[in-house]
Amino acid sequence: MNVATCSNCSSSPSTTQRALVGWVLENSGRGTLSLISTCLLTIFLCTWVVIHPRVYERERYATLHKIALFLKAILAPEFIAVEGLQEWAQCRRMVKDCATLTGSEFELVHAFYVSMLALRYRTPQGDRVIWPNQYTWLLQQNLIKWEGQASWGLSVQRIRDQNKADSVAKFISFIQVSWFVAQSIMRTAHSLPLSQLESMTLSYIPLFTVTYFFWWHKPKDILTPSIVTLPDMSEEQQRIFRSMTISNKFDNEGMEDQVTYWNIWYLTPRVFEKQAEDKAMRALEQAAEKAAQTAAERATRNAQANPGAMYENSFSKGKYEHTEHQPIKLPKEIVLSHWDPDLYRSKIWPAICLFGASFGALHLISWDTVFPTTVELWLWRTSAFVSILSLIIFIHFEKVVFCWGGPLTIISLVSPGLYFLSRVVMIGQVFAALRAEDPAIYDTYEVSTYWVHIL
């Protein structure tokens, strides 16, 4: 690596003394190409290593789903971190629920394997997902024994054999990220500015580090699910088991939702969402039962008060009884976000909010960085604040549904829109700013007194 000593490293030259520069060649120090390639390589390595996709039987869907996760992580890394946090919390609960049933041998790696839809059961039409709550229920009902976990593909050795986590890629990513952070710190120590692209790259690192912590035990890039045969069950047990299904969108039975390419963008549903749905259904059933009972009592009182109207009341009573036996369905919802209630009401919730805002906050490192125009400078600052505030507002809603629920609905729906708009603006600005940068961006410092870096 060629390193040139900056002639004035104690203070960055002002734009009044030095004109802004465009594309800079790699002559005496770092140039535009090395700046872009270093930042993009760091972001790519962080993102590609951290994402752990769910399991698809079809390789094309698996690849496209991984690309979709990659794009999500680039555009909104906070949402990938939240996904990792909620899956980690679900898996910890599953380990706790299965502890006494498995002699404490059920570990996080098993819970993640089930949660990433890698365990399925055969059906006449194909196969269906065994969801975490269903697997726990099978253990609780003694329908399966933990001693037979190897035949279900749940042995640690088999999971490790399927795991495509590349230790070399992890090591390279660690070295690259460590060097990038150290280089940024040293530039700041020498009063040399960071480019907007470097500030954005630094912003990804804390969130990806935390996400990787949540998914540390999660297998990566498993291509072949474990397809098993369910044990014999009574009709009632089969009904209960099927009623615990969280979603049928990820089954392989040829249904429209299962074969569409939109499937790769879907978030993996969680057990707490099913629990909330069941609770809402029970509330509807109780309300319907109470309404039918009230109507029947009213009809009886009217019949007693007016015997001549018995035929009409009998007709009304029969109508209510008919209504009572009709199946009750929850209205379909387009859910934009849904927080795990245990996390939403936990003591660490304030820390979650603050850490979620860290991505936008780290963009403010470039508060005093020179931009091509004053408009772009204030657009950057405004976008950073908008991304912080809009995200904090958005995550304060436990559940955001795309339907009218009062004035707060506007805030809950507008805030993510503003967030994504601010992200698009800042991503565009980091590259637009390269057309006219402060020359000090390309100044370097002498590293021989610290360490020798070999590319």
pTM for the full predicted model: 0.85
> In 3D, which of 145, 141, 144 has the Cα closest to residue 230?
144
pLDDT in tens, 104-148: 999 999 999 999 999 999 999 999 999 999 999 999 999 999 998
> In 3D, which of 196, 199, 192, 197 has the Cα closest to residue 439?
192
The pLDDT assigned to 303 comes to: 72
pLDDT category at 16 given cuts 50, 70, 90 is: very low
**Quick one: the chain helix, strand, coil %, rounded to 5?**
60, 5, 35
pLDDT category at 15 given cuts 50, 70, 90 is: very low
- Say whether pLDDT at 201 is over 90: yes
The pLDDT assigned to 162 comes to: 82
pLDDT category at 1 given cuts 50, 70, 90 is: very low
- DSSP tag of 16: T
The pLDDT assigned to 71 comes to: 94
The pLDDT assigned to 285 comes to: 78
pLDDT in tens, 399-431: 998 888 788 899 999 999 999 999 999 999 999
Mean pLDDT over residues 361-388, rounded? Answer: 94
The pLDDT assigned to 325 comes to: 54
Q: What 3 state SS string does 367-388 have?
A: CCCCCCCHHHHHHHHHHHHHHH
Query: Residue ranges of the domains in the chain?
Result: 276-324
- Cβ distance 50 to 179 under 8 Å? no
- Say whether pLDDT at 75 is over 50: yes
CA 263 to CA 252: how far, in whole Å?
12
pLDDT in tens, 305-360: 776 554 455 444 554 455 555 666 767 778 889 999 999 999 999 899 888 889 99
Say what percent of the chain tops pLDDT 90. Answer: 60
